[in-house]
Chain A
Amino acid sequence: MQMIQAIRASIAIVVSRWVATVLRWTGRAGTSLPGLVATRISPQLVHRLLRQLDTCVLVTGTNGKTTTTEYLHALLSQDADRWLVNRGGANLLQGLLAALLTVSDARGRLRIRRAVLEVDEATLPLIAQSAHPRLVVLTNVMRDQLDRYGEIDQTLALLNRGLSDPSVTLVANADDPLCAALAEGRMDTVLYGFSSEVATPGCPDGVRDGAFCLKCGAELTYAGYFYGQFGMYECGHCGFGRVEPHFTGRVSSCDGFRQLEVEEVARRTSIQYSVALGLSGLYNAYNLLAAVAAARTLGVAPDRLNEGVARFSPPIGRMQVFPGDPESVLALIKNPAGANSVLRALIQDPREMAVCFAINDQDADGRDVSWLWDVDVEDFVATVTCQRFYCAGTRAADMALRLAYAGVPRERVTVLAALDDVTGIACGGQVQVLYVLSTYTALHPLAERLPRRLGLRRMVSEEVHA
């Protein structure tokens, strides 16, 4: 039996390497296809490879996995230290395997024995044993597309299973009551969160996912909040509440450069340092803070954090800026909480903007688009100075309806027939930025197409103001 498995593994490696080579030749590298093929031939291969890792760090949670993983990989890759990483959100078994295969020799031995891996919540319990992580980062627990996991209770159950070894260090978001509840009762927990001084006083409106105490079921009360369910929560019934994090962050701005100020408390002493924050949006500050907390726990010195961040290159479509007239900014939206964070970042942008939503409904996007109605579009359209809305993707019309029922006059909404048309959006004279918010499967096509906007001439006369 062992013998057969070993043979299957060898075949899987050979075939998948061949697939990877063909993909490279045809210019289609960077997919999970080699991993998918290898998993089909040898389901055990991914576990065989994971077991060889000396140090394995996993990043999971609903939102922010990909960016946090990139940040953490940049922070850890000091000098000649090489860490394996799975890029671009390839966080299912075949994605992990595809990444592992890139550093495996023909006999299935890993050349790099340290890895930072982004893992889907449902995949975590499948690999927790073989990967035997040194540390797991849990970014947050929010409602994802319902047709993928069913309800949030199920996501929590998956995470609980994946974190069942209490000796694994858990780096968790203290501001998220669901995260914090999962972190309770473990041997080694590192918490991060934002400073209560920068919280908005009062209770967040319409909290969906963490409204009730996971311990006793009573409703949580908030002294202040950051966004979504993140804040200074407390259960009046059982006493469960936010505890002071080990890593406390706040965002500051100096000469136009945004910084993440971190106060780290360990053994009753506290040190402070600041790290350059490249990406906009409070949610990206959370991602960096999570990565800093994990990197520090793994022994990265505070004075080396900034050189690490300098190596960071943002994943595709995370507030990715494309030059043009006007410039365009591509951002991934895939669930209500994530979309709300992105919309909040747009509200912070004082420029006059046009906004395009590209909504697909493939498996990776979530086939059920009802989540669009859980996004706080009403608040967004009432606050933002947006001239014109565009909708693209297979579910463009659903998004257009969403905007119409959020109060946008219908004549200001354009449904584009094809994704390609996004490159041809001619913004009016006053528009200073075109935001393109896209679900997962439209993201890569758009990242390829948006640079073409460079050649586009701005429209001089504007029909929009009619």
Chain B
Amino acid sequence: MADPAILVENLSKVYRIGSAEERHETLSGAALGLLSAPLRNLHRLRSLDASRSLRRPNRPTPNEHSDDLLWALRDVSFQVHRGEVLGVIGRNGAGKSTLLKILSRVTSPSSGRVTMLGRVSSLLEVGTGFHPELTGRENVYLNGTILGMRKAEIDRKFDQIVDFSGVSRFLDTPVKRYSSGMKVRLAFAVAAHLEPEILIVDEVLAVGDAAFRARCVGKMQEVTGRGGRTVLFVSHDMNAVHRLCSRCLLLGGGRLVAEGTTEKVISQYLEQGAPTRHRYRSEPDPGRDGMILEIVPKDAEGQPLLGEIDASKPFAIEVVATSAAEHPAGYLTVSLRDRLGTPVLFTDLRDSAPAGIASGVSRYRVEFPEWLLAPGDYLVTVGLNDGVGGQLDVVRNGLSIALIDLDSPRGGHRIGYFGARLPWARVVPTSGQGTGFAPDPPASPPRPPDEFRPESRPVPSLRRS
């Protein structure tokens, strides 16, 4: 743990969300309420300071509700090393923005502490502080000093900034006459010429067109590539995070959910909202006509497969379902989707067995041959139908199965959904038989095609996005 640039210890931030307005049932109640409104308002406005109630936890105010408090960040600790580019990802409301706001000192934490070693600059939004009535030149100086530069520093870099922005002709025009693209370019040019030791960046890449975004990422890479620069980068753009960051934090519900290499954390992020369980179970509900009680993948010997599944071996998905009545036309369906929700495969009991759901608990089984599916994660959806237009139960994305390829040269690096081993052959052209399939077996035994092995590992979790 050598040389941390940012040290975050048990950081928490609590906000107070406004509670519902009081309602009055009677006219006199409403009149009384109106009279006491200023006092109540005063109390409400005072209580906007959430730290007040934290400071004195044992002295609750009269209308104190714990559900009135929103923990935007709860007990988050991590370190960023000098020269490291750390990505922060998470869904909306995960606490990313709050974290960045605390780190850039826009807001102060409710508890915990942050220690930063080095000059800090934050780009929470490019162009903050731009004034439409001022000229481009004046805004460069204003924005530059807002971002923490000194006048002498801006003087020195002024030509570079103008060159980068490409708005040199309009320097003495009020910024309000700029196109939005010009404004963003000028703002980013100022920001790009900051030389902090610690840079905090949030969604800068969300603005502008694709070409500009590419240029921003390029500039960021250049900046971070020079070394010594510590960057905290927050974005929803997983590709940008992956390109820029070596390590990543995943926030969820204000807590630190995961921390590790970018690849690992991004795949975990993509899994959020989808189950990672490998077995689905549900308690029987006597009030229902039919129910799916259990879904579990099993191997050829009938043993449950609760971890990764070897794609080179056949496996089965077993479904335990109960039905109050017999449905002679009833059937089950099983469908697989990938992590992004794209349908991959759909199969129906009636494809290979007679229709019919017996009353009571029954066990169904659908078999998947070896090498049917490409290695990867699939989500399983199972439906139970009575066969006359009614759906008795459906379990959407009830479990995930992870297929891995342990024995082919490509391993898991295979795009698409099919895993079938197709017959390959080296076709040696002989006289008169230059085209068509070779009738003879190849002269040499088949060897793995070494030249097609990937040079570098692509990101497994991104390969289909």
A binds B: no
